Amino acid sequence: MISRVIEQSLIEKVNQLIDNAQHVVIVSHENPDGDAVGSSLAMMHFLRAYGKEDVKVILPSELPYNLKWLPGVEDLLIYSLQEKSCCRALQACDLILFLDLNALSRTGKMSQAFNGLSAQRVLIDHHEFPEPFAPATISCPQISSTSELVFRYISRSGCLNDLNQDAAVCIYTGMMTDTGCFSYNSNQPDIYVIVHYLLQKGVDKDAIYRKVFYAFSEDRMRMTGYLMYKAMEIMPEYQTAITSISKRRLKYFNYRPGDTENIVNMPLQIEGVNISIFLREDNPVRISFRSVGDIPVNRLANELFGGGGHKNAAGARYKGKLSEAVEMIKQAIPKFVESL
């Protein structure tokens, strides 16, 4: 038995919206990670098993290649590649489920496609400070992943019989990736009760781990070696590692979406490093923050770049030069660490 963290009134409100809907679209954030893809596909599988015939998933941009094995990926619509098809689906739907995002801006260029739509909106998310763009909002920042929230919603709705193996695989993948293989934000016993149930549904957790983390290219492996040997800077007095990579280096290593996943966690394997920050030059610069223990890197992400996330895992963007972002972090770290 798992604890009840979602208000019953919200469960009933979302149930009513889903029951009344004929055409459902599920949307997550741009540059989708394992939780975004996993929670979205899990909800798609569940709704189809529940009896909804027209359910589509739209992602603003391509998913990482190490997630393209997930069941249902062949049905995904990618806005950056299929804009017209995505807009037609949005205009025809009567319900949009937003998963794993707390603001429409997190859908990037796709955000303009929601203007003027009459469809009802539901938000299911675990990030702090959700914006009020969905009248029915299930927001639980204390929960490890949106995939876990999807499981909790299905369970509380009394519909676990409609959670098939495909949905279970997607939920487990989202939970695993958003907790660093259960290495952070994962001390709640409920998580492992859910994992136990998913295993009973036929999930092969060892196979999922191999598919997600043992599917990288030779170029990605060589890039990882370069980052750890050449690009990682340690500030030992502040227990901090800062790693960055430029567009030029990304091109040199034939970068593909997903190649930098988990890089931010690697420096935390060094004894004495409790904060790891990874920057990837893009437009804008993308910054990932990780920490161990009670170090609130979401506070650092917010104070420096207006980002956010969870205590031990946060993210931000910077509309400037990569070197500027790195210098801002170096200047801020001493004061941040001393304030803890």
For the segment 79-130, what is each residue's pLDDT rounded down to a tens digit? Answer: 999 999 999 999 999 999 999 999 999 999 999 999 999 999 999 999 988 9
For every residue of 45-77, DSSP letters joined together read HHHHHHT-SEEEEEESSPPPGGGTTSTTGGG-E
Alpha carbons 43 and 162: distance in angstroms, whole number: 11
Q: Which of 174, 162, 152, 149 is nearest to 201 (CA)?
A: 162
Q: How much is the pLDDT for 148?
A: 98
Strands 275-280 and 240-245, bridge-based pairing: parallel
Quick one: 186 and 275 in the same domain?
no
What local confidence, expressed as pLDDT, does residue 25 receive?
Answer: 98
Domain that holds residue 201: 8-212
Task: Give the three-state DSSP class for 76.
Answer: coil
Of 146, 128, 45, 112, which is closest to residue 299 (Cα–Cα)? 128
Last residue of a domain, one of 212, 238, 258: 212
CA–CA gap between residue 230 and residue 44 (Å, rounded): 43
Beta-sheet pairing, 95-99 with 120-125: parallel
207 forms beta bridges with: none
Predicted confidence at residue 279, as pLDDT, reads 98
**pLDDT of the residue at 19:** 97
Residues 267 and 238: beta-carbon distance below 8 Å: no
Predicted pLDDT at 309: 85
- 284 and 187 in a single domain? The answer is no
Match 């937003």 to its residue by tokens. 98
When divided into structural domains, the chain yields a total of: 2
Residues of the chain scoring pLDDT < 70: none
Residues 85 and 171 in one domain: yes
Closest CA to 154 of 200, 198, 101, 208: 198
| Assigned token pair, 21 | 């809907």
Closest to 192 measured CA to CA, from 172, 207, 208, 174: 172
Same-domain check for residues 190 and 275? no
Whether 90 contacts 109, CB under 8 Å: no
pLDDT of residue 308: 86
| CATH code of 152's domain | 3.90.1640.10
pTM: 0.91
Examine residue 3 and state whether it is found in any structural domain, yes or no: no
